[in-house]
Structures are given as structure tokens and as C-alpha cells.
Amino acid sequence: MIHMFFQYYFSRLGIIFEIPDIPGIIYETLKKIPRGMVTTYKEIAKLLGDKIAARAVATVLARNEKPDEIPCFKVVMSDGSIGGYSLGVTQKINRLRQEGIKVEGTRIINFDRVLFKLSDNQYYQVLKSLQRIQNTLHSQITFEQFNSKNTRYAAATDLSYIQLRNNFDLALAAVVVYDLLRRKIVDLVFSSILINFPYIPTYLAFREVPGILLALENLRVKPDLLLIDGHGVLHPRRMGIACHIGVLTRIPSIGIAKRILAGKISANRIKAGDKNVYPVYLDGKIMGFCIEKSGKRIYVSPGFGITLQDALDFVLKLEWEKGREPFLMLLAHKLVTRFRDILRRYLSYIKLEFRRK
């Protein structure tokens, strides 16, 4: 198998970030399935190195723009049902039957006989490699006492996406730097960068890090602390996106996520003003906190260069809106959403003008 990668170089930060071409690997793999055989979304995910990627495989196949060249009709559900198809279920059934595969209703007959188990082949499992990268970077995480009184500039990040063709997305990032002393924005950078790594739970960093790094390297005011929209060590491999960004930039970071990815929320409530705080345990240890306000929750954990307690204390001391998250995080979200909407309209206008010409 040909191993395909995209490499991003951030010269001002001195960082090289490499990402595997997941769609390219999937499409090349499909071409190797023998005539009269099928495989499953889960088999392809296991081939990539982690069965958690099964939904991402389905997303990649749904965006296949060359169904006659790349036979995604050969990918079905694990129970033998044929699943969906970009050209419609009827077309999928017809193409399967043309290869001699028997289909009754929406289910393949004698499924075990026609199942081509990709995971039996000794292909390179790229997600296993990404796990090893996460484990290596995790060994570089430090948790240090953090003096919030000496912290003047805090930066919040958020991302949004515009879907393009050929499984590429335009990743849009916003980094807003806030002066905690003067309570005003002192720097704001937007970035846009092409990315084709699909969303896969526990691998979010490999989709979003390039956009954030591109924005960070263009800041004029260096932040003392980064607030990242995502998890820190509250992650199955203790290596969420906030850890990635912190280790790579050596700037203290905190992960602030809207949904829990791993761990168990304790029933022991800690009252903090108008908020309720619950410890989140992972493998018997407190790795983060759930902060609840007005019935809505966020999940806080350290990413790099700050202790668990200091991360919680800092987030609680931030200005909060009536919503469920700190004002600074909400601001980054609103800014990048506005940036996306403006850019999307602009791209639509350009597309329309090309059609006219």
C-alpha cells in the first residue's frame, strides 16, 4: 500500500505537522477488493488501525466523487445489510448483482462467503501510528503551578469548516487574545487551511491543529495561556487537542469541551457560586471537571503547563455569559462562525461569476 501524507510547516513556530491522507488510503484500499467480494465499514476502520473510525469511513465514502472508478458500492454493513450509497440504494444493489453477489431485499445472501476481510492483510495501520505519536507527546506534558495573577493575556480558539470537493474541507480558525487586566481584545487572527482528515473521535487534533497553529503563528501579542475548544488530558490516551497545542507551542493550555469523551462524572457536587462542579474520573483518577450552569455543562481539563486545580480555578474566575461557557470561548465561537458565513457567501459569489463567464 502507498502511504500518503500531507505535511504542514509553520516556519515562525518551527513546527512541522504531518497528517495521513485517510481518504486516499481508503480509496486505494477499495480498488484491491476482488470482484464478487465486499467489505464493511468496520473492516476498513480496523485496517486503518481503530474500529472507532467506522463512521468516518462512511463519511469519506459518501463524498466519493468518482463512483465508477472507486467502487464504494462494495462497502456494506457488518450484518450484511447493504447500507447507503451516494447514487441510491437501487444502484448499489444493481452493481453488487453485476458482480455476482446475491442480494435479497437490502441484505446480502451468504454474506460470510463474499466478505473480504481487509484486517487479515498486513497493511500499515496509520491510526496506530497516530496513537504512538500521541503517546510520545504525552510524555512531554508537564503540570506546573500556575499563577493566574501574573497572567495578563489569555487566548481562546475555535474552528469551523466549509466543505469542499474531493474530501477536502476548508478549516477556519479564530484565535482571540484578551487582556484580562484591561478587559479588552488586544489581538485577533483568522486562518484558513485545507484539510482532508475526517473527524474521528479521539483523533481531533489531527484535524484541527493545523488551523490553530496557522492562526497562532500570526499573532502579534503572545498569550500567556491558551483556552482550546476541546479536551486536555480528559481523553482515552490523556492526549486531547489542548495537550497537542500546548506541547507543540510550549504555552500553558486548558481544554474546554462541550461533550465528554471519556471518564465518569462523580455525583459529588462542589458549589462554586452559580455553578456546580463535578469531578470526572478516568481509570480511578480525577482527570477533569464538569462545570454545570443553568442545566448546561462544559468539561475542563489541563492540556499543558498547568495543574488540574489551577485549570479549574482559572476557568471559574473567567467572565461567564448567561450561556454555558466562559465569555471568551463564546466570543471565539461567534467570531469564527461569522468568518465562515462571510467566506461561504463570498465563495458562492465567485462560483456564480465563473458560471456566468
**H/E run at residue 329:** helix 327-356
H-assigned helices in 140-224? 205-216
Q: Which of 243, 234, 345, 258 is nearest to 304 (CA)?
A: 243
| Cβ 191 vs Cβ 173: under 8 Å | yes
Distance from the Cα of residue 131 to its chain's centroid:
14
> CA 328 to CA 316: how far, in whole Å?
12
Report the 10 Å Cβ neighbour count for 43: 24
CA pair distance 239, 234, nearest whole angstrom: 8
- How many residues belong to the chain? 357
What are the residues whose beta carbons fall under 8 Å from the beta carbon of 105, sequence distance 6 or more?
Answer: none
Comparing C-alpha atoms, which of 249, 212, 245 is closest to residue 231?
245
The residue from 38, 56, 57, 72 that is catalytic is 72
Note if 290 is an active site residue.
no
Residue holding cell 500556575? 146
Catalytic sites, residue numbers: 72
